[in-house]
Amino acid sequence: MEFPGVLNYWASIVLMMIGFYVVIAQGNLVKKIFGLNVFQVSVFLFYISMSKVDGGAAPILDDRYQIYSNPLPHVLILTAIVVGVATMSLGLALIVRIRDAYGTIEEEEIERQEAEMP
Amino acid sequence: MIELIDTALLLIMVATALGFVFIRNLFAIVMLSGIFSLTAAVLYVVMDAVDVAFTEAAVGAGIATVLGLVALSLTGRPDEAPSKRSNIGPFLVTMLTGAVLINATFDMPNYGDPEAPAHQHVAPRYIQQSGDEIGVPNIVTSVLASYRGYDTLGEVVVIFTAAVGVLALLGRRRRATAESRRGAGSAVEGMTGKSILRVTTKLLIPSIMLFGLYVQFHGDYGPGGGFQAGVIFAAAIIVYALLFGTHRARRVISPGIVRFVLAFGVLLYAGVGVAGLLLGGNYLDYNVLAHDPVHGQHLGILLIEFGVGATVAAAMITIFLTFAGHDRPMEE
């Protein structure tokens, strides 16, 4: 297998695993959101790695270039990044309300309070 | 050489991401996430995705970090409580998922392979025809605004909805005392006494806005467009609010106007589609907007990019001001 081969895909899988682990293993809600952010960036990285063409230029037309990288994944990811920050802030807003209601952002503490409720 | 840069950046990203697992201080996590996004942006430039890199740098390293910090100031304690739960289950699930995915990569074409299936379907048409059909040098803009205009409309509606959601969750102030109206007690009170910061940033704000406008209207010819411009423009307002407090920012740019612009952008985008229908074309078909199809495309892209920029900027400002205007939790 020649270098770099599928190294980029492996890196994005490792990043995805880290993000996934933070989301399911950590009890702090803010940390979960940022774990989700890592997960999200790993998917972006995967798409952008797929769009790369050897010897290609950035997809802006110019007479000097004939080969361009694939513009389609760029479009998908560009919009996904902005949507990602908008949805992340919605998640953070929910956490702020949870904090207002329970006085904590730790999952275990919230579950304990829920269990104690009549 | 480029492979080495690529590998080094990937390693930095993995190392930064590992920090998310081991660091317990949430402020550090937010800053780490900024570094993570900035490294990702550099990596996108290496992979020719200049528009994406631009967006990631403006959004991930800029706005998202500020929003994270403001949210953190509202949730109180910056340190995470040590967990008593066993982490073996999640660890095994993660490893299993990773192993399955790594196994799947052996069927993937190599990185940069021009024969990869992803480059065989619509992408060649976009690259070869967009110059004649749309007449805009930046292919990403052609695809975003014209070929896949429906997609982008959907994304803009999602951003609009998220901003409305944040407003619905945090927008209502429970006790509007005179004190809270002056901005005291809210997350962002402004930095009084930091003269050097205030003076230099005041000089920066007009250039940030001018740059935002450049990115907005130059997006057809170079990297940029409504999404990036909206975020950059919002950053100028957010910097102002950080330095002088949200109460002064609200006086400069009233929340009512921002909410109007938020809806106006989506309506402008959707309205361009309806205009196409009335002129006898399909929804979001810009060819019929002017006497000449290419002119119609130019006009359509200009209008919808403006709509995108307006909604994105207004959404980011709304989200930030709503977070910043929320009452800070009482000290325990």
pLDDT at B332: 42
For B137-158, write each residue's pLDDT tens digit: 999 999 999 899 999 999 999 9
pLDDT at A6: 84
Report the 10 Å Cβ neighbour count for B205.
Answer: 15
For A8-19, write each residue's pLDDT tens digit: 899 999 999 999
Q: What distances in angstroms separate CA A82 from CA A6, B88, B189, one per listed residue?
A: 27, 34, 27
Shortest CB distance from A82 goes to which of B106, B119, B159?
A: B159
**Nearest CA distance, A118 vs chain B (angstrom):** 25
On chain B, the residues whose CB falls within 8 A of the CB of A57 are: 48
- Chain A's closest residue to B83, CA to CA, is A27
CB contact under 8 A, A94 and B102: no
For B221-237, write each residue's pLDDT tens digit: 888 889 999 999 999 99
How many Cα atoms within 13 Å fall on the side-chain side of residue B246?
A: 23
ipTM of the complex in this document: 0.93
Angle at B111 between CA A35 and CA B100, to 5 degrees: 50
Q: Write out the two tokens for B114.
A: 């021009």
Q: Give the span between the Cα atoms of B32 and A19, in whole angstroms.
A: 13
Residues B107-119 have a mean pLDDT of: 87
- Chain A's closest residue to B169, CA to CA, is A93
Q: What distances in angstroms separate CA B140 from CA B45, B117, B210, one per listed residue?
A: 14, 19, 23
Query: Are B206 and B237 a contacting pair, CB within 8 Å?
Result: no
Residues B6-10 have a mean pLDDT of: 92
Query: What mean pLDDT is reported for chain B?
Result: 88
pLDDT at B173: 62
Among residues B148, B245, B123, B133, the alpha carbon closest in space to that of B193 is found at: B245
CB contact under 8 A, A88 and B33: no
Shortest CB distance from B105 goes to which of A3, A9, A76?
A: A9
Among residues B6, B118, B115, B15, the alpha carbon closest in space to that of A4 is found at: B6
Q: For CA atoms B190, B196, B201, B202, give the dihedral sign.
A: positive
Query: What mean pLDDT is reported for chain A?
Result: 90
- pLDDT band for position B331 (cuts 50, 70, 90): very low
Of all residues in chain B, the percent with pLDDT exceeding 90 is 52
Q: How much is the pTM?
A: 0.91
**pLDDT higher than threshold 90 for residue B263:** yes
**pLDDT higher than threshold 50 for residue A51:** yes
The residue written with tokens 């910043």 in the block is B324
CB contact under 8 A, A67 and B114: yes
On chain A, the residues whose CB falls within 8 A of the CB of B119 are: 53, 70
CB contact under 8 A, B29 and A60: no
Residues A33-51 have a mean pLDDT of: 94
